[in-house]
Chains A and B, each alone.
Chain A
Amino acid sequence: MDIFLQQLANGLTIGSMFALVALGYTMVYGVMRLINFAHGDMVAASAFVGLTIYTQVMGQAATLIAVITIFLLSAACMACVGIILERVAYRPLREAPRLSAVVSALGASLVIQNGIMLIWGPRMRIFPELIPQVYWDFGGVVISLIQVIILALSLVLMVALYLFVEKTRIGAAIRASSIDQDAARLMGINVNSIIALIFIIGSSLGAVGGLFIGLYYRGITFNMGWQYGLYAFIAAILGGIGNIPGAMLGGMLLGLFKAFIEGYVSSTWADAFTFILLILILIVRPTGILGERVAEKV
């Protein structure tokens, strides 16, 4: 039983990181009907930006204020990158066929990935141990401080995002733009600002996810964004792409699924099973768990 609970805790930790990253995919898709493939690499970039802020700006101080500053500054940096990305790679193609925008997204992904390699080098960089190694043992189930922080902060951010989208006027504008951009524009909504806002929120959440990866796993490489981006993308589809609670649910479920497959079946087969799950979801329920069945616009 304690093995089961331990795997559950492990799964929820990685699941909440997947969920944070998946939110970036799903929000952009919800409004723009575009898979932002560069999102995974933005996540990786934020880990490197965070490392640089720690060594250059904070002077390697591992205080609580330093940690908060790193999170805020990295999120701000990535939000800027997100706006630039949208302006340069996606806005000129907004009226173009969807395929062009997807190709542009893949190109942007390569540009960011290679940019990280050029700036920080191809070697693995080591993230500092900013969170003290504190553990609690509950009858064989060990939970670490960092796991608690990751879970709690992810949940807070996700609930805040949900409330923001569902309860505020700007949230209503986001939802309106997601349903019909032209109609939203007629209602006096500045769709360009809404899209910029989507990129700001998505990229900042991705930045938090990237910093969690750095803090939790310590070793960061320039090409790790691809791996996390792919898992988050699967999580977004699993939960229903375009659906915000769906991305959260999908991320958590994928984390649990991976932990249990690796724990009970084999680490060799974890990826194979993940993709089998993706294929099954696409066959049985293409709109995802929480996705609604909508008629294709003609």
Chain B
Amino acid sequence: MNRCIRTILVATSVALLAVPAFAADTLKVGVQAPITGSYANEGQGIENGVRLLAEQINAKGGVMGRQIEVIPCDDQGTAMAAAICAKDLVNKGVSMVIGSYTSTCAQAAQKTYFKAGVLQTSDGTADSLTEKGYWTFLRNSFPNSAEAEFVANYLVNVKKYQRIVVISDFSTYADGLANAAEAAIEKLGGKVVSRDKIKADSQNFTPVLTNIKSKKPDAIFFAGYYSDGGLLRAQQMALGIKADFYGGDANDNPDFAKLAGSAAKGAFIVNVPSPNVLPYEIAKTFIADYQKKYGEMPPSIWGLMNIDGMRAIIHGMEQTKSFDAKKVADYLHNMSTPLPGITGQIAFAKDGNRKGGAYVVKKITADGTYVNEYVQ
């Protein structure tokens, strides 16, 4: 009887030990993304992309012999669900987390991953994401300040505008971007003749624009949203202000051109490139594979940015020949040669920010389509 119990105990403990040992053979990749909710489109794009990349890597024998197992968690685009996802994914023993899509969700989950020593890569653009000193966080997109620097360089050094006007609304994003752009323009020796603010949704911007007209600007940079940007552009042209109009990334929406009507022609939009114009070979192959598997284009560049983050972490593991998060992070923070990626070269700064930028300036043509004017 005693022996019988002992046998069962031994068998059970062997079995219990064997399960984690067997599980260690797969590399668990968590996906924290808004799979439902307002950003479901983007969240599903991230999950689909991660699954496709995992499939491709697994077909080639996995990461140093370990097959990738994808574990998704839906954060619904809310901070509360994101915090729960983070705990859940850590408990399931993931080695890295891809996501989330929004800065808010990435931020809510950040600390949990940091405490557990799990690498996280997100496309959130809020500057604050990398300001907390979490070594586990790797930003695979570019922060808002990078857009400001790109815009400043383009306006001052490339186009050599002499009299620049910067406009924003009162939101955190727009005001932050406009302030950063103003500072960057002045740092490069450009002249900001006016820094104006409009009230979002107030529709009538002619009083502010009339004042701007008297400053005789040659360029206007608007850091707000498309719903105001389109009207601003239309009213700018109606007042006969002959400055070139540049809209920040939140103006990249088809409604911008519809609102501006015939005034949309000749306006410029600054943003990261859309997936269909990525010039890199690796991008073309991946997007073709994506279309073949899912029958549609990736919803936006952001999902692809996340895929690049995942590729970078796996690259780090292979280079260091280790699954140790700290070692991989140290390697990625000090990469000497950047990794060619779907969305451009990938390398990280010490604070976890992705180095460089991949912005484009798009010009709106008469029929409302976009053509690339300048590629970083």
Residues of A within 8 A of B (CB): 2-3, 6-7, 10, 14, 124, 126, 129, 133, 135, 137, 142, 144, 213, 217-219, 221, 224, 258-263, 266-268, 270-271
Mask, B136-161, CB within 8 Å of A = 1, is 00000000000000000000000000
B230–A218 CB distance below 8 A: yes
B261–A133 CB distance below 8 A: yes
Evaluate whether A263 and B208 lie within 8 angstroms (CB atoms) in the complex, with A133-B261, A268-B197 already known. yes
Give the A-B contact count at a CB cut-off of 8 A.
79
Residues of A within 8 A of B196 (CB): 267
* Interface 9-mer from B121-129, B234-242, B301-309: B234-242
Decide yes or no whether B33 CB sits under 8 A from chain A. no
Q: Beyond A133-B261, A133-B263: 7 further Cβ-contacts under 8 Å?
A: A124-B227, A218-B234, A219-B259, A267-B197, A267-B198, A267-B202, A270-B199
From DSSP, what is the main secondary structure of chain A's interface residues? helix
Decide yes or no whether B276 CB sits under 8 A from chain A. no
Whole-angstrom distance between the Cβ of B160 and the nearest chain A Cβ: 26
Decide yes or no whether B103 CB sits under 8 A from chain A. no
**Closest residue of B by beta carbon distance from A265:** B207
A263–B234 CB distance below 8 A: no
Decide yes or no whether B170 CB sits under 8 A from chain A. yes
Question: How far does the alpha carbon of A218 sit from the alpha carbon of B232 in the complex, in Å?
Answer: 11
Residues of A within 8 A of B198 (CB): 267
Evaluate whether A126 and B210 lie within 8 angstroms (CB atoms) in the complex, with A133-B238, A135-B238 already known. no
**Residue of B206, B208, B258 with most partner-chain A CB within 10 A:** B206
Whole-angstrom distance between the Cβ of A14 and the nearest chain B Cβ: 6
**Closest residue of A by beta carbon distance from B235:** A217
B197–A217 CB distance below 8 A: no
A142–B240 CB distance below 8 A: yes
Q: Please report which residues of chain B, range 169-193, place their CB below 8 angstroms from some CB of chain A when the two chains form the complex.
A: 170
Question: How far does the alpha carbon of A261 sit from the alpha carbon of B239 in the complex, in Å?
Answer: 18
Decide yes or no whether B255 CB sits under 8 A from chain A. yes
From DSSP, what is the main secondary structure of chain B's interface residues? helix
Tell me which of B213, B231, B261, B262 contacts A6 (CB under 8 A). Answer: B213
Closest 6 CB pairs of A and B: A262-B207, A263-B207, A129-B261, A142-B240, A10-B206, A126-B258
Residues of A within 8 A of B261 (CB): 129, 133, 218
A144–B208 CB distance below 8 A: no
Number of chain B residues whose Cβ lies closer than 8 Å to a Cβ of chain A: 30
Decide yes or no whether B319 CB sits under 8 A from chain A. no
Whole-angstrom distance between the Cβ of B266 and the nearest chain A Cβ: 13
Residues of A within 8 A of B231 (CB): 217-219
**Closest residue of B by beta carbon distance from A4:** B210
Tell me which of B210, B239, B259 contacts A218 (CB under 8 A). Answer: B259
Evaluate whether A6 and B204 lie within 8 angstroms (CB atoms) in the complex, with A124-B255, A126-B255, A218-B234 already known. no
B207–A10 CB distance below 8 A: yes
Question: How far does the alpha carbon of A278 sit from the alpha carbon of B18 in the complex, in Å?
Answer: 78
Question: How far does the alpha carbon of A223 sit from the alpha carbon of B20 in the complex, in Å?
Answer: 57
Residues of A within 8 A of B206 (CB): 6, 10, 259
**Closest residue of B by beta carbon distance from A255:** B204
Tell me which of B203, B211, B214, B240 contacts A135 (CB under 8 A). Answer: B240
Residues of A within 8 A of B197 (CB): 266-268
Q: List 24 A-B pairs, Cβ < 8 Å.
A: A3-B211, A3-B213, A6-B239, A7-B207, A10-B210, A14-B204, A124-B255, A126-B255, A133-B238, A133-B261, A133-B262, A135-B238, A135-B240, A142-B240, A213-B203, A217-B204, A218-B259, A219-B227, A219-B230, A219-B231, A221-B201, A263-B210, A267-B207, A271-B199
Q: Please report which residues of chain B, range 233-280, place their CB below 8 angstroms from some CB of chain A when the two chains form the complex.
A: 234, 237-240, 255, 258-259, 261-263
Whole-angstrom distance between the Cβ of A1 and the nearest chain B Cβ: 11
Whole-angstrom distance between the Cβ of B24 and the nearest chain A Cβ: 49
Residues of B within 8 A of A10 (CB): 204, 206-207, 210
Evaluate whether A142 and B238 lie within 8 angstroms (CB atoms) in the complex, with A259-B207, A268-B197 already known. yes
Residues of B within 8 A of A260 (CB): 207
Whole-angstrom distance between the Cβ of B349 and the nearest chain A Cβ: 37
Residues of B within 8 A of A261 (CB): 207
Whole-angstrom distance between the Cβ of A221 and the nearest chain B Cβ: 8
Question: How far does the alpha carbon of A10 sit from the alpha carbon of B203 in the complex, in Å?
Answer: 13
A142–B239 CB distance below 8 A: yes
Tell me which of B208, B214, B259 contacts A262 (CB under 8 A). Answer: B208
Question: How far does the alpha carbon of A126 sit from the alpha carbon of B264 in the complex, in Å?
Answer: 14
**Closest residue of A by beta carbon distance from B210:** A6
Residues of A within 8 A of B204 (CB): 10, 14, 217, 258, 262
Mask, B207-221, CB within 8 Å of A = 1, is 110110110000000
Tell me which of B202, B211, B237 contacts A263 (CB under 8 A). Answer: B211
Residues of A within 8 A of B170 (CB): 268
Question: How far does the alpha carbon of A133 sit from the alpha carbon of B260 in the complex, in Å?
Answer: 11
Residues of B within 8 A of A124 (CB): 227, 255
**Residue of B203, B204, B214 with most partner-chain A CB within 10 A:** B204
Residues of A within 8 A of B234 (CB): 218
**Closest residue of A by beta carbon distance from B198:** A267
